[in-house]
Structure 1
Amino acid sequence: MPPVDVEWTSVIGLANQTLTTPALIDFVDQFASELPEDVCTYIRQIHRRNSLRNDRLAGQLEEAIIAMNGQGVTPVLLKGAATLATAPDERRGVRLMSDLDIMVMPGEAERAIAALGAIGYEIYEQASPESSRWYVELNRPQDVGTIDLQQAAPGPAYLYPGNGHTLNHCAPVLLGRGSVYVPTPTYRALQLIMHDQFEDYGYWLGDLDLRHLVELRDLNNSVEGLDWKELASHVSSELMKNAVETQLLALAALLGVEVPHSMRSRLIPRLQFMRQLMQARFPSTRVPFLAMTFLDLRNYRREAVTRYTQTSVRRPGLWSMPRADTLQFLLREAIAVRVGKV
């Protein structure tokens, strides 16, 4: 049942901040007779507009896929793009998204960019030559979103060493007249978690991304559902395990998903989730809680340094403070307004 004595303006404000307003349509449809009329009207209007926008994104995606297929490229759809390709039409308006994440193989990048250029796309931004992660962002004036072209799954490469190539966890899917690969629900869940926790620095900053938690819940409720044992098998290190379980704790506690107890009972993930809740309720604690990055700093250094250099540059057991530029970066991000995060 809906909670009583709710300040609906605050609820809508938080939904807008977390980019989850369209997802409230399920709540409105179920309890419309018990909710204020203006709340129902607002949420239905946002959901309707988002459905129209996502229909345009789906058309844009199909056009881009057909163009790339014409150059012999069959891309992998990531995150929201994968949702557009697999969600039933009536559920297309639930997820708010800003771009289309598409992955191509390293040898296909030039052909993919040329194919998109031929249908009017221009490069808006791209990774610098010294960047460890390649990407190109392309746009056209008539579109409602950009295309984010990538060559790797979300998150640092050293977190995926035992998983094999992304294509090993994908199935071919027809998208209109185009052909793509879409990761399995379980692998999509892993990629969402890696994106939030590491590519967006959520694990170090203590952020909650409610929009992606809703998507994880929906993946679990899909026909294929999430295979918890398979998800656990993709976890390759102590650091990754802590990050995944932190996200699963939030999924179970906030959205009622039945996550196995073994994947939400360890100490560090529980401490991290308590930090997330405290920071969400009392934002002034964000800076003091940065000290919790030390909980996994040693795990991070052991995993990242070993993967990148194939050798450990630090003696086992030796501890040191993070570099000054790392601390400055984390402090800057901790006090910044981050869209969609709490």
Structure 2
Amino acid sequence: MRVAEAFRAAFGADPETVWHAPGRVNLIGEHTDYNDGFVLPFAVPWGVTAAVSPREDGVVRLLSLQSGSGPVTRERLEDSAGWERYAAGVLAMLGDRVRGADIAVDGDVPQGAGLSSSAALEVSVASAVNEVYALGLTPMEIALTAQKAENDFVGMPCGIMDQAASALAKEGHALFLDCRSLGYRNVPLDLAAHGLEILIIDTRVHHELADGEYAKRRAECESAARALGVPALRDVTDLAAALERLSGNERKRTMHVVTENHRVEALIGLLRAGHPAETGALLNASHLSLRDQFEVTVPELDLAAEAAVRGGARGARMTGGGFGGSVIALVAGDRVASVRESVSAAYSAKGWREPRYLRATPAQGARKVG
């Protein structure tokens, strides 16, 4: 295993354990997680593998096979920079229970595609550290630790969806998660049995969320909930009445969150009824809401979604935080080529770089691999 060999070369001994955690793609339920709402992601076949051994001296040594440089030594976790912050943040959240570690990571999540390589890194490290220090954390507790690392150490105010999908997903299933109660169940997602598949269209465009737009959307949702006198927008039961009391961005954000929660439940209903092909309309509606009400799409995402449907996709929507990244398209197996041709032609007409196409099947969540 490549990461174990790199660990041995860098640190002079075999790792005590090796864990893999996947990235994720969100089928539906976007920007609902931090509103205590519903999400339906699934794990993707690409992820991060972490080789870890404990230390007793409080020192953390970190190596990434993707960084292009050798291992770094951090005696203070707060001195970590770049990719290191995600691993160091996990250790910081675990506090005195962890007395240092040697960590090597190797990832194959396509960068910038919005498939949550950060959550995969956090969950793989947290899972391995959980084992070597016998912390007894459940998969959900690992996900919460990883989320707290990203919120409090990295400074990204994300919800729980990405980390939960990485830690809890089951092969061949989507993960239905109630982000308030943290109750979840794995919903069978055997698209191949119906002649369907999910095509990920990576726009290769990334507008940095750190610009503050993500945090701004979250603040607008929280402000709207306060104005309506509810704990979170998930609690809005009379949407028409709520919209009458709001204006501007708060009104638009509320409309998206409330209707998106309904779309999650409707999509699960169609899956359980054995009609996955009929979910395309919900994907289209989700994208339009993210474009017009939540305003997190960009022209590259909009064109990819529109061209995919023109090319024969049953439905398409942006996935992830927005401002770049990927579109997912629900496509019959015999229409994949025409969807790709349609999107590529639309991009070429704009003079944009060719998108990257990935065919995703629901993968297993975090697991020990060495």
- Give the shorter-chain TM-score range: 0.3 to 0.5
TM-score (norm 1): 0.32
| More contact order relative to length (CA 8 Å, sep ≥ 6) | 2
TM-score (norm 2): 0.30
Q: Which has the higher strand share?
A: 2
Q: Which has the higher helix share?
A: 1
